[in-house]
Chains A and B, each alone.
Chain A
């Protein structure tokens, strides 16, 4: 796979996320995918559950790629996540508030599919936008 093919894969993933097309998504990830999120490693099944929870909480969920960088077997997507909080999320009941947060994802690609990933999302800002954590420095 060339770096351009890996970038194309990144774009297909975002497209599938935005269309909530779970079957296409499942096709773009290898069955042995491991997602290294902050604190723990997720299997593809757990990763999918998180995605479903996110779509449930933010039905108008949309990802926008801001930058796409690739080298060897990895790509990095810097993206923005927007949505309206219409369902329970991480214990926070629906608030109707908008989120607009940054995230960076690194994916390792093998055989045309994502097999490993590292994600960081600006959860602090997200919690602040949802009103779960006070904005500005804690006093």
Chain B
């Protein structure tokens, strides 16, 4: 049989059988060996037509384009209809439906013997105003995931759970559209800082909605201002402010979050002015100023040094000195030694500037040599030393430092090195 015959046969199936309900034509147009999914033979075909016509009695199919070769026939099909009952388990009553399909068929002895149907079932569900069962399940799972994030991570402080709940390349979108792409690890640090500043943090959920891969949550953040927030030193006051957050969940992990929060009312409750537009840079500068302020206050008191470290310095702190990198532990040993040798040590910031995550200070250090320093017995001499330090800030803490000090000048002032280099 020719391709042209097959095309005419297929067209009759839609014009007569589907569109007009003339089921008696089926044995003439369909092979007794017909297979399409679970539908087999003439009876299988009949059931397919009945299902469509029962759901939409005014159903109308139009073949838009048809290509044939040998015993194969492929075509694009448009359908429209008004729902009166359900289709595939979904109630479409009263809905005007339209859809497209692509159908691959094989012919045998001039009759259709095999059909494979591709159609946009999701669009049918959408038109019916219902969510397909699989999607509904996924949405509930996404909500449960976000709820765990709030209950376990935000409220109970289980940051390790982020590995399970959050994608490595998590992206946070701020209310102003600014993107923070420090990823899951960056989020962990930010979160640790938040919990350090607000140890009694509680985030409640008033409402939670899921749509597709998005989960929208709203409620309140509340807690006590116990550490630096936005560069503002602790006030000890309680705050409570509303937020709305939209999370996107892909393959069981939160991949992005857009958070809009009424932080302005938090600052009002704390009785402080909110940081200016260049919020982060100014906050970073404030952090570094606090570092100098606290360092000047140490005066050889180890507990004050510990308080400084706890509030301002990340555990992974690295100081890139001219003689190699120091860990936090090595840095602390050095600071202890310096604070013991020069108990009146004072550092005055002459200039401070910030860009991105860097803060630069130009400062003058002064002190009196009252304890052993690098093998030198106390001399009672004073020194005045210029310093420039580049700091890197992440997650509200100092994480890295590149100091440059005029050590040569200092050692010369202490009499350890002659003032004029040897000839």
Residues of A within 8 A of B (CB): 3, 38-39, 66-67, 69-72, 74, 76, 78, 90-93, 101-104, 106, 118, 120-125, 127, 132-133, 137-139
Contact = CB atoms under 8 A, between A and B. Distances in A.
Nearest to B320: A102
A106 B351 contact: yes
Interface string B351-377: 101111010101000000000001110
Given A91-B420, A101-B322, A138-B417, A123 B408 contact: yes
A76 B189 CA distance: 27
Given A78-B404, A132-B422, 13 more contacts: A67-B390, A71-B355, A74-B351, A74-B353, A76-B353, A102-B322, A118-B386, A118-B388, A120-B406, A121-B404, A123-B407, A125-B323, A132-B421
Residue from A90, A101, A122, A125 with most neighbouring chain B CB atoms (10 Å): A122
26 contacts: A38-B409, A66-B402, A69-B353, A69-B354, A69-B355, A69-B360, A71-B353, A71-B354, A74-B351, A76-B353, A76-B388, A78-B402, A92-B423, A102-B404, A104-B390, A106-B353, A118-B351, A118-B386, A124-B408, A125-B322, A125-B323, A132-B421, A137-B374, A138-B376, A138-B417, A139-B375
Interface string B374-409: 111000000000111010000000000010111111
10 A-B pairs closest in CB distance: A137-B374, A124-B408, A104-B388, A71-B353, A123-B408, A124-B407, A138-B416, A76-B360, A132-B421, A120-B404
A70 B281 CA distance: 12
B411 interface: yes
Contacts of A138: 374-376, 411, 416-417
Residue from A3, A78, A118, A120 with most neighbouring chain B CB atoms (10 Å): A120
Contact of B355 (A70, A103, A104, A137): A70
A128 B88 CA distance: 84
A37 B387 CA distance: 11
A3 B358 CA distance: 14
B268 to A, nearest CB: 29
Interface residues of B, number: 32
Contacts of A39: 409
A12 B266 CA distance: 46
Nearest to B402: A78
A106 B406 contact: no
Nearest to B373: A137
A103 B322 CA distance: 10
A120 B387 contact: yes
B353 A104 contact: no
A65 to B, nearest CB: 12
Contacts of B423: 91-93
Contacts of A78: 390, 402, 404
Contacts of A3: 355
Contacts of B421: 90-92, 127, 132-133
A76 B281 contact: no
Contacts of A121: 404
A108 to B, nearest CB: 10
B72 to A, nearest CB: 62
A67 B356 CA distance: 12
Nearest to A76: B360
B140 to A, nearest CB: 48
A104 B322 CA distance: 12
A39 B407 CA distance: 13
